[in-house]
């Protein structure tokens, strides 16, 4: 049985060059450097200035199209740079889906760095301010442009719990984690049935340490990988307070974000545990120490 991230199409540098020559000829002779593959996309650095992302799976193709449609509407209203596409590729005879190019950020993912305690407090305040601004954007224009709701039940306990238990079992069997009884007890005590539609806002949807780019000083350079952007529960994003921030930094996050009620905090921790386990399991199964470490750190931070 194949893994859910198994590619439908292998995107090679030769394919990328052919697509650029066809659609963006001024980039066709530029240097092309593979950056790696994620769950949904293959990424390439082009001309040392742009990152192009190409869906690897048919199910991921609509996500790139969503970024192309929605992100240019959000970018002017946000206090941090985001990966809004500056090139929008279309399907062709060589490749069946849309693809996109973005300016390259200077830094590296937070998951590849080791901030000190003070740097984490600054980071927390920056991310709190950013998410507060994102969640206050009027969603109507984005919804009119095709922004969907939560189509995959990110806070649906009945749908998510069996998957989580399987990932916990694999991580325990491999020796990465031990006793998960406390985590499971907390998850079952929250057991959400879905997002709170009355609280809905525009959310990133998949924000964690690999999607926060920081510079050498630990300052945020940009927020990337917006394929999961949707109109949903803000707790989905507030979960970063548990998944990527150590406990001492959470007060700075909350103070910069604004009022966060207790139910949002509970759902945020719930989401953080689920997502951190997903990240750790993916890193383990794909042989990525950085991704595995990001997920395991998230589980440690989010433990009640």
Task: Quick: pLDDT tens for 147-181.
Answer: 999 999 999 999 999 999 999 999 999 999 999 99
Name the DSSP class of 200: -
User: pLDDT value at position 46?
Assistant: 97
- Please give the average per-residue pLDDT across 238-257, as a whole number: 98
Mind listing the pLDDT tens digit for each residue in 90-102?
999 989 999 999 9
User: pLDDT value at position 216?
Assistant: 87
Tokens of residue 276, six digits: 């951190």
Task: Tell the burial category of 293 from Cβ atoms under 10 Å away from its Cβ (0-12, 13-18, 19+).
Answer: middle
- Please give the average per-residue pLDDT across 229-247, as a whole number: 97
301: pLDDT strictly greater than 80: yes
Name the DSSP class of 112: G
Contacts with 162 (C-beta within 8 Å, 6 or more apart), sequence order: none
Contacts with 16 (C-beta within 8 Å, 6 or more apart), sequence order: 32, 44, 46, 52, 54
242: pLDDT strictly greater than 60: yes
- Please give the average per-residue pLDDT across 195-218, as a whole number: 93
Which band of pLDDT confidence, cut at 50, 70 and 90, is reported for residue 36?
A: confident
- Please give the average per-residue pLDDT across 294-300, as a whole number: 97
Strand-pair category, 108-109 with 99-103: unpaired
User: pLDDT value at position 265?
Assistant: 97
For the ranges 34-48, 220-234, 247-261, the lowest mean pLDDT is seen at 34-48
User: Comparing C-alpha atoms, which of 253, 212, 265 is closest to residue 81?
Assistant: 212
Mind listing the pLDDT tens digit for each residue in 40-85?
899 999 999 999 999 999 989 999 999 999 999 999 999 999 999 9
Tokens of residue 135, six digits: 């969640």
Instruction: Give the chain's largest Cα–Cα span.
Output: 57
Which band of pLDDT confidence, cut at 50, 70 and 90, is reported for residue 2?
A: low
- Please give the average per-residue pLDDT across 183-193, as a whole number: 94
122: pLDDT strictly greater than 70: yes
Three-state secondary-structure class, residue 18: helix
Domain annotation for the chain: domains and CATH numbers: 13-103 (3.30.200.20), 108-302 (3.90.1200.10)
């Amino acid at each position: 049985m194949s893994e859910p991230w198994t590619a439908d199409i292998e995107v090679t540098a030769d394919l990328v060059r052919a697509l650029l020559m066809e659609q963006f000829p001024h980039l066709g002779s530029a240097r092309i450097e593979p950056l790696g593959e994620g769950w949904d996309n293959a990424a390439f650095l082009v001309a040392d200035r742009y990152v192009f992302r190409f869906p690897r799976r048919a199910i991921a193709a609509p996500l790139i199209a969503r970024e192309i449609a929605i992100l240019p509407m959000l970018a002017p209203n946000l206090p941090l740079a985001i990966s809004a596409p500056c090139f929008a590729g279309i399907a062709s005879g060589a490749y069946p889906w849309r693809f996109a190019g973005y300016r390259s950020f200077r830094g590296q993912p937070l998951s590849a760095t080791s901030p000190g305690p003070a740097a984490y407090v600054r980071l927390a305040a920056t991310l709190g301010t950013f998410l507060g601004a994102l969640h206050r954007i009027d969603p109507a224009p984005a919804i009119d442009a095709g922004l969907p709701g939560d189509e995959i039940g990110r806070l649906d306990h009945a749908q998510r719990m069996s998957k989580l238990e399987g990932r916990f079992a694999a991580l325990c069997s491999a020796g990465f984690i031990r006793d998960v009884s406390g985590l499971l007890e907390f998850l079952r005590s929250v057991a959400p049935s879905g997002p709170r539609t009355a609280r809905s806002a525009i959310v990133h949807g998949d924000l964690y340490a690999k999607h926060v780019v920081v510079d050498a000083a630990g300052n945020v350079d940009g927020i990337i990988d917006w394929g999961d952007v949707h109109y949903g529960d803000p707790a989905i994003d507030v979960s970063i307070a548990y998944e990527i921030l150590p406990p001492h930094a959470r007060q700075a996050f909350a103070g910069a974000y604004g009022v966060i009620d207790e139910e949002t905090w509970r759902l945020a921790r719930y989401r953080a545990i689920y997502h951190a386990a997903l990240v750790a399991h993916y890193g383990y199964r794909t042989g990525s120490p950085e991704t595995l470490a990001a997920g395991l750190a998230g589980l440690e931070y989010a433990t009640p």
